[in-house]
Structure 1
């Protein structure tokens, strides 16, 4: 399931960024480019979770312990070459573009480059694209995998979600982006999953802008702070039965906020700017597969919910599931085609 969700999120992000759909295409050239692209991202996630000992003990760097640093430099060279290739492709096709066609993100940035070349440099565009991909792919795919794992272990919740979609949308069309606000129980499921298994269990580091006191501790200006949102989400002083999967606890709550109790995207001015996109992508993808298919575990045993190591807290054992088209959706599914 994670593999399928990962390719889905990569396709969505790359369609927005460069207009390309790497996976599920019959274009062999695109598939090869997509293979290189995925290798670069996979390596990025592996190395992003590693610590360079030389950053903490510089003497080790002086003694020649620089293997991770060399790998990071080599990875950056590969990333720069790949994304620069995308920029050059779109730059060459810029003159022949259809004025009525929606621009990709790189095309928008290249247009801005014409008026502000000193700011919108190729390096800035490359790094901007990398940040979008690093923050918006593995996190969403991992959350979808956790959602499906929880639903397979709680079939009554899955059935309730299907009933909600049936009553709101029916079987004549698929879930649409505009339907997401009208599916509150689906949103409850997503919120509860983000509480139990946040995509970023430790929020990105923040710097204290001034001296302050937090929980009785003096925090000096300039100190780097890391928020353990996983601990907050599992705190029995904050949540009733924190280890229990209960989507109903979020009924009546607008959005993904509940004071400072629920922080899947952080909070304040430095919260995740991709929250809106992530929520829409999760709602669309999960709503579609819940609407179209009946899902089962591969055995009588519950899905293993052990958390694995990593920045985005993946499942230790990847999810494998069985599905079949729902009877009243077979006609609609037979009419679908891939563009």
Structure 2
């Protein structure tokens, strides 16, 4: 067995090698990229140690020291932080294409159908097609007007509940947050699936809430490639399980609409509308694209 002293020496050598490699890589990057100013970095971690909750306050403090635009090294990833409205406007208007791409975080592979949804897809033909679909077929004035009766009906139901919650004209304290959350869910559910309180859709909503409770965010391996294999606290396993269940339910809703398309004609749901378009332009309206759009909505 190796002596404890030898293990410590090997560990020290390993850390020194990582430190040297980090410095060399950072210098190489800086030669090729004209980066904004940044705080001093730590080996391996970069600037991660500077980000403390609440993050917005941490970034504000850094902006006071380093100006309205500065760079941060988050492990192996580079981030540019903007705190000036005029600079943000310039990035989102004149240079919007340059900043249009999203980083390939691990979760995007599973919850975004291998980076193919509008919130995760890189800028290009596929993303432009998704944007066109959402703009013309989902959020256009005509489509929103066609579902106005659903919104009116659900709002009327909510008002009746509020009215009947009081008795003998006495005022009653009502917590609006859960009622408004349920109102939004019911409207979205009817627009997508066409039926109120559809068991599959209700279960889908529950699974998505579970996914959010996990705190969907980049994992350690997204910032430190050497640790991509690790699954701390079984996080990856839980996310994969939930996303598979969500995908199964979404596919079930799509298949049901496909089997009973004439039954959904009167309701004209989002799924039925996209399936009709699939018949003439299958390559632009695949099941994966439809499921991705439904999930984003």
Shorter-normalised TM-score: what interval? Answer: 0.3 to 0.5
TM-score (norm 1): 0.33
Structure with the higher fraction of residues in helix conformation: 2
Larger relative contact order (Cα-Cα within 8 Å, sequence gap ≥ 6): 1
Larger Rg computed on CA atoms: 2
